């Protein structure tokens, strides 16, 4: 069993920390990066390509079109009816940019939203993943456009990085799907996904001037907030499995399993705990993080529909795992789960349980 | 990792812009470097970072009676630390502090055996004349005194020297309302009696060249200056100042050879970069290479690393040595000899010390049966070098703490099967890019 993944999970370990960063540096070196250097002969061609791709992209910035591939490829017929375009929203905008939610879906489990960020006339916006030396067409795989820095410099504009973070009602950051990033002209188009707590949601808005130009850190920052209302759809169906189920290899017990199906995605919630008399190692595994893969008929894990699956303790001391998968035409009658320690990779039990429908109230 | 690097960059940015005003601290005594005072930390132990007290006698000074209180910087720890500062190490290259740290309750070690003490060695934040101390690399070690306290040593390399007469403040807290530092204890540094054994060179070699090191990536224009090469009592360092126009030309992944062509063993250190660098807004960025050996060499040569990442999956090799015959030399596939000097193995983990006489790619270790096959033990690996012996170190632990009990992932039966130390290394990846090597003259 290799342990490098486990190693990185242990926090501040000076030796391995250095080794990890060293490896990351090496990985960065081999990862293709946007070429910061413009090729003059290609300026015109690049401009034409950008204009053409922008025109094409303009018709593709709906929330369904900007979902992660694993969800977009399996959208069910009712999905488009869930899209809301007239989003009630109130905003306190940060300096330099205006954030607007253009489309959103609230399927009861998650909110998916397309957010347009439009810069003031004297700024050039840069998305949260970009760096100043990257070309402005990096997000579509290009590397021939000007860098953000050069474009801002040539047009005498302030380079500003714009970000958006969903928060809960207490202002605490929510686990967010990595934003999908597009540009429409110089507007940034973020598609974010985050847990739906109700029909209301708040987004914290952040801008940051990339270059100090004599300003302090705080003078370069801009803060705002966007509150939106996105009613929950009724197009949901719920299923459950009989529990408890013993997990003898891992010395655990599966105490609950529910599946929620919408036209956008399928959400699975599992709760499990250490079995009576389980050794301390079981509790250590649970503290490390025990996850369950949903296996298909070939024994392969279904691709996950999000990068932000969650593992949280319940009030009664159990572990609750919520995972997101593609929507199904017909939900399988059974669910096969393979439990493993997410840090060490050690695998435990593989079980198959039957699903039966339940009402939303029973969920 | 992207997020991690962004956080790292943000932290560096924050440290760079925090205002310098701070409240006057309570005491202002003097630490005289080279005072000849004893170093209690080194009594009765074999330090991994210091070969012996005599080797650093000219660069250490005792603190006056100095206690610093600070809340724990670990989120899961709720107690309070008391730091008793005992001795200061100061040269143009490094600042180190020997101290005793006592927790308000039994120290909640994580069950990783001796490695825990290194993890727990944490120095409160340090200001220099009211400004945050800027450091490059950090090495630490510790050993226990009792269940609530341990001796610790933290050694930090410096981007620029701390001058005679400057004031160090330990444990000050940032008051965000006042936008000022408060509290802590201060000492003034007296370096007038210092006798530094460090041998240093300032080659000031400026290098401007374009290198295409990694297949599939665009060539990168480098502009850097090798500012300093120092042979210190704690290992050797090369300080390089990069002028960065993108993230990738603010560090150089490389190896070092001496004037005989012998490959030197490098101590892994973190390489930094700033994400806002661009051609229009170049940034100055310091990075360093720590290494063992090369003393007396007329020159050192930087040999960049590169290659084709696609070949990395086929580059891994494994060799083995039995655990009862150290030192043991292993000839790797590329002809390099890897010498395992020792390997300690107990119920909590293992720790091997080794050197190589050439470039062995990426090296890590595993444990195997008598036939040299991996036993598949689940452990966390770490690199932890021995600066006092000039040896590279690699260890692994398989224990964690749970409600006061040490829980092992390796059973006694599995441990009984361990007969060999397995050496995982890479061949042909990354490659040494000899055509791009850079010689640093040390004769002047």
Q: What is the DSSP string of B322-385?
A: ETTS-SEEEE-TTS-EEEEEEEEEETTEEEEEEEESS---S-EEEEE-TTS-B-----EEEE--
Residue span of the structural domain in which B286 resides: 199-309+432-441
B125, B157, B190 - which closes a domain: B190
Of A169-173, A206-210, B41-45, B376-380, highest mean pLDDT = A206-210
* Residue B383 within a domain: yes
A29 contacts in chain B (CB < 8 Å): 213-214, 217, 248, 253, 306
Identify the helix (H) or strand (E) that includes residue B75.
none
Q: Cβ A13–B382 below 8 Å, yes or no?
A: yes
B248 contacts in chain A (CB < 8 Å): 28-29, 33
At A7, is the pLDDT very low, low, confident or very high (cuts 50, 70, 90)? Answer: very low
User: Which 142-181 residues of chain A touch chain B by CB within 8 A?
Assistant: 143, 147-150, 152-153
B259 shares its domain with B273: yes
At B293, is the pLDDT very low, low, confident or very high (cuts 50, 70, 90)? Answer: very high
The share of chain A scoring above pLDDT 70, in percent, equals 82
B28 shares its domain with B150: yes
Q: Cβ B281–A7 below 8 Å, yes or no?
A: no
Q: Which of A196-200, B27-31, B128-132, B346-350 has the lowest mean pLDDT?
A: B27-31
Task: Tell me the nearest-neighbour CA distance from B114 into chain A, angstroms.
Answer: 13
3-state helix, strand, coil in chain A (%, to 5): 20, 40, 40
Nearest residue, CB atoms, A132 vs list B5, B218, B276: B276
How far is C-alpha B200 from the geometric centre of its chain's CA atoms?
20
Is the pLDDT assigned to residue B20 strictly greater than 70?
A: no
Is the pLDDT assigned to residue B84 strictly greater than 50?
A: yes
pLDDT at B27: 53
The share of chain B scoring above pLDDT 70, in percent, equals 91
Whose tokens are 């991994």? That residue is: B48
Nearest residue, CB atoms, A346 vs list B269, B306, B378: B378
B161, B190, B219 - which closes a domain: B190
B330 shares its domain with B303: no
Q: A96 Cβ partners below 8 Å, 6+ apart?
A: A119, A120, A123, A125, A158, A160, A162, A207, A209, A222
B228 shares its domain with B171: no
Q: Cβ B5–A153 below 8 Å, yes or no?
A: no
Structural domain count, chain B: 3
CA nearest neighbour of A102 among A115, A89, A118: A115
Q: B361 Cβ partners below 8 Å, 6+ apart?
A: B315, B425, B426, B427, B428, B429, B430
Three-state secondary structure along B141-165? EEEEEECCEEEEEEEEECCCCCCCC
pLDDT at B331: 96
Instruction: Compare all CA atoms of chain B with the CA of A147 and give the residue at the minimum distance.
Output: B278
Is the pLDDT assigned to residue A245 strictly greater than 80?
A: yes
- Higher per-residue pLDDT: B71 or B195: B195
* Residue B16 within a domain: no
B422 shares its domain with B437: no
* Residue B13 within a domain: no
Q: Does B177 touch chain A (CB under 8 A)?
A: no
pLDDT at A50: 35
At B65, is the pLDDT very low, low, confident or very high (cuts 50, 70, 90)? Answer: confident
* Residue B78 within a domain: yes
Distances from the Cα of A303 to the Cα of A94, A325, A338, angstroms: 37, 7, 14
Is the pLDDT assigned to residue A17 strictly greater than 50?
A: no
ipTM, two decimals: 0.73
* Residue B231 within a domain: yes
Instruction: Compare all CA atoms of chain B with the CA of A282 and give the residue at the minimum distance.
Output: B407
Residues forming a β-bridge with A352: A336
At A145, is the pLDDT very low, low, confident or very high (cuts 50, 70, 90)? Answer: very high
Task: Tell me the nearest-neighbour CA distance from B403 into chain A, angstroms.
Answer: 9
Q: Cβ B218–A133 below 8 Å, yes or no?
A: no
B contact test, residue of A11, A14, A20, A281 with most B CBs within 10 A:
A14
Alpha-carbon Rg for chain B in angstroms: 23
B253 shares its domain with B328: no
The share of chain B scoring above pLDDT 90, in percent, equals 75
Rounded average pLDDT over B118-141: 93
Whose tokens are 């300093």? That residue is: B228
Instruction: Compare all CA atoms of chain A with the CA of B409 and give the residue at the minimum distance.
Output: A281
CA nearest neighbour of B393 among B22, B59, B58, B141: B141
A288: tokens are 């490390």
- Higher per-residue pLDDT: A43 or A334: A334
Residue count of chain A: 363
CA dihedral B187, B193, B199, B200 (to 10 degrees): 60
CB atoms within 10 A of CB A306: 23
CA distance A53 to A143: 14
B302: tokens are 């930087």
pLDDT at B154: 97
B421 shares its domain with B437: no
B121, B156, B190 - which closes a domain: B190
Whose tokens are 């970000």? That residue is: A163
Is the pLDDT assigned to residue A39 strictly greater than 80?
A: no
pLDDT at A104: 94
Instruction: Compare all CA atoms of chain B with the CA of A152 and give the residue at the minimum distance.
Output: B280
CA distance A245 to A256: 9
Q: Phi, psi at residue A156, to the nearest 5°?
A: 55, 45
B243 shares its domain with B171: no
At A248, is the pLDDT very low, low, confident or very high (cuts 50, 70, 90)? Answer: very high
B5 contacts in chain A (CB < 8 Å): 24, 28
Is the pLDDT assigned to residue A218 strictly greater than 50?
A: yes
Q: Cβ A29–B253 below 8 Å, yes or no?
A: yes
* Residue B69 within a domain: yes
Nearest residue, CB atoms, A24 vs list B5, B140, B280: B5
B278 shares its domain with B323: no
How far is C-alpha B179 from the geometric centre of its chain's CA atoms?
32
* Residue B12 within a domain: no
* Residue B5 within a domain: no
B89 shares its domain with B162: yes
B326 shares its domain with B283: no
How far is C-alpha A58 from the geometric centre of its chain's CA atoms?
22
A216: tokens are 């302090």
Q: Cβ B409–A281 below 8 Å, yes or no?
A: yes
Are A184 and A65 in contact by the 8 Å Cβ rule? The answer is: no
**DSSP, residue by residue, B248-316:** GGS---EEEE-TT-PBPEEEP------TT--SSS-EEEEEEEEEE--TT-SEEEEEEEEB-GGGGGG-E
CATH number at residue B262: 2.60.40
Q: Cβ B384–A14 below 8 Å, yes or no?
A: yes
Which parts of A226-332 fold into alpha helices (H)?
280-288
- With H, G, I as helix, E, B as strand and everything else as coil, classify residue A140: helix
Return the exposure string of A102-124: e unless at least 16 CB atoms fall within 10 Å of the residue's CB, then b. bbbbbbbbbbbbbbbbbbeeebb
Structural domains present in chain A? 35-229 (no CATH), 237-358 (2.60.40)
Is the pLDDT assigned to residue A47 strictly greater than 50?
A: no
Q: Cβ A30–B216 below 8 Å, yes or no?
A: yes
Whose tokens are 């990783």? That residue is: B112
B88 shares its domain with B64: yes
Q: Cβ B376–A211 below 8 Å, yes or no?
A: no
A284 contacts in chain B (CB < 8 Å): 400, 402, 407
Task: Tell me the nearest-neighbour CA distance from B406 into chain A, angstroms.
Answer: 9
Q: Cβ B268–A19 below 8 Å, yes or no?
A: yes
Q: Cβ B245–A10 below 8 Å, yes or no?
A: no
Q: pLDDT tens digits, residue range A105-137? A: 998 888 999 999 999 989 999 999 999 999 999
Q: Does A280 touch chain B (CB under 8 A)?
A: yes
At A361, is the pLDDT very low, low, confident or very high (cuts 50, 70, 90)? Answer: confident
pLDDT at A177: 64
């Amino acid at each position: 069993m290799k342990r490098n993944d486990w190693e990185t999970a242990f926090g501040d370990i000076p030796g391995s920390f250095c080794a990890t960063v060293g490896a990351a540096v090496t990985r960065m070196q081999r990862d293709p990066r946007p070429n910061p250097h413009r090729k003059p002969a290609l300026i015109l061609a690049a401009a034409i390509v950008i204009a053409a791709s922008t025109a094409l992209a303009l018709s593709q910035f709906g929330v369904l079109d900007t979902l992660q591939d694993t969800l977009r490829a399996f959208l069910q017929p009712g999905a488009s009816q869930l899209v809301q375009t007239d989003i009630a929203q109130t905003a306190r905008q940060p300096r330099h940019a205006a954030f607007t939610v253009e489309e959103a879906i609230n399927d009861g489990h998650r909110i998916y939203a397309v957010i347009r960020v439009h810069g003031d006339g004297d700024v050039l916006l840069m998305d949260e993943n970009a760096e100043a030396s990257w070309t402005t067409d990096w997000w579509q795989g290009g590397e021939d456009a000007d860098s953000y820095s050069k474009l801002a410099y040539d047009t005498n504009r302030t380079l500003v990085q714009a970000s958006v973070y969903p928060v809960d009602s207490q202002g605490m950051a929510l686990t967010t799907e990595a934003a999908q990033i597009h540009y429409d002209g110089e507007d940034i188009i973020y598609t974010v996904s985050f847990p739906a707590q109700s029909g209301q949601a708040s987004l914290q808005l952040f801008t940051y001037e990339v270059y100090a130009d004599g300003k302090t850190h705080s003078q370069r920052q801009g803060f705002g907030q966007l509150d939106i209302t996105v009613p929950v759809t009724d197009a949901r169906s719920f299923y459950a499995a009989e529990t408890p189920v013993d997990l003898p290899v891992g010395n655990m017990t599966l105490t609950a399993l529910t599946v929620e199906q919408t036209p956008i995605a399928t959400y699975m919630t599992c709760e499990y705990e250490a079995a009576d008399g389980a050794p301390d190692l079981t509790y250590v595994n649970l503290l490390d993080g025990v996850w369950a893969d949903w296996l298909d008929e070939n024994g392969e894990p279904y691709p996950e529909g999000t990068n932000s699956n969650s593992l949280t303790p319940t009030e009664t001391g159990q572990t609750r795992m919520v995972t997101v998968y593609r929507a199904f035409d017909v939900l399988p009658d059974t669910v096969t789960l393979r439990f493993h320690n997410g840090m060490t990779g050690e695998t435990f039990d593989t079980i198959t349980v039957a699903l039966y429908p339940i009402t939303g109230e029973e969920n | 990792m992207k997020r991690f690097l962004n956080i790292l960059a943000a932290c560096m940015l924050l440290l760079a812009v925090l205002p310098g005003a701070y409240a006057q601290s309570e005491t202002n005594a003097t630490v005289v470097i080279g005072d000849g005072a004893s170093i209690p930390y080194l009594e009765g132990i074999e330090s991994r970072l210091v070969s012996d007290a005599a080797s650093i006698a000219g660069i250490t000074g005792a603190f006056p009676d100095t206690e610093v209180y600070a809340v724990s910087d670990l989120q899961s720890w709720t107690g309070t630390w008391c730091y008793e500062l005992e001795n200061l190490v100061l040269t143009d290259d490094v600042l180190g502090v020997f101290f005793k740290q006592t927790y308000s309750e039994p120290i909640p070690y994580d069950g990783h055996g001796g490695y825990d003490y290194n993890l727990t060695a944490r120095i409160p934040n340090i200001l220099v004349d009211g400004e945050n101390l800027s450091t490059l690399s950090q090495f630490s070690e510790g050993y226990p005194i009792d269940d609530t306290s341990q001796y610790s040593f933290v050694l930090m390399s410096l981007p620029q020297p701390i001058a005679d007469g400057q004031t160090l403040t330990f444990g000050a807290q940032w008051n965000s309302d006042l936008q000022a530092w408060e509290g802590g204890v201060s000492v003034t540094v007296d370096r007038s009696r210092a006798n530094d054994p460090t041998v240093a060179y300032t080659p000031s070699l400026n290098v401007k060249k374009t290198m295409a090191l990694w297949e599939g990536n665009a060539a990168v224009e480098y502009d850097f200056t090798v500012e300093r090469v120092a042979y210190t009592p704690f290992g050797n360092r090369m300080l390089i100042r990069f002028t960065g126009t993108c993230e990738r030309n603010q560090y150089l992944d490389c190896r070092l050879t001496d004037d005989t062509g012998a490959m030197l063993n490098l101590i892994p250190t973190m390489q930094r970069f700033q994400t806002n660098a661009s051609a229009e807004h170049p940034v100055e960025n310091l990075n360093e290479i720590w290494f063992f050996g090369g003393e007396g060499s007329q020159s050192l040569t930087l040999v960049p690393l590169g290659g084709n990442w696609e070949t990395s999956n086929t580059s891994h090799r494994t060799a083995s040595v039995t655990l009862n015959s150290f030192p043991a030399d292993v000839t790797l596939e590329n002809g390099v000899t890897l010498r395992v000097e020792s390997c300690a193995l107990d119920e909590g983990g293992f720790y091997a010390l080794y050197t190589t006489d050439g470039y062995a790619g990426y090296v890590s270790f595993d444990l195997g049966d008598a036939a040299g096959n991996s036993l598949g033990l689940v452990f966390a690996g770490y690199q932890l070098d021995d600066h006092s012996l000039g040896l590279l170190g690699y260890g692994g632990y398989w224990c964690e703490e749970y409600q006061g009990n040490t829980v092992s992932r390796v059973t006694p039966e599995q441990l009984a099967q361990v007969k060999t130390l397995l050496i995982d290394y890479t061949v042909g990846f990354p490659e040494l890019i000899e055509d791009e090597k850079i010689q640093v003259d040390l004769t002047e």
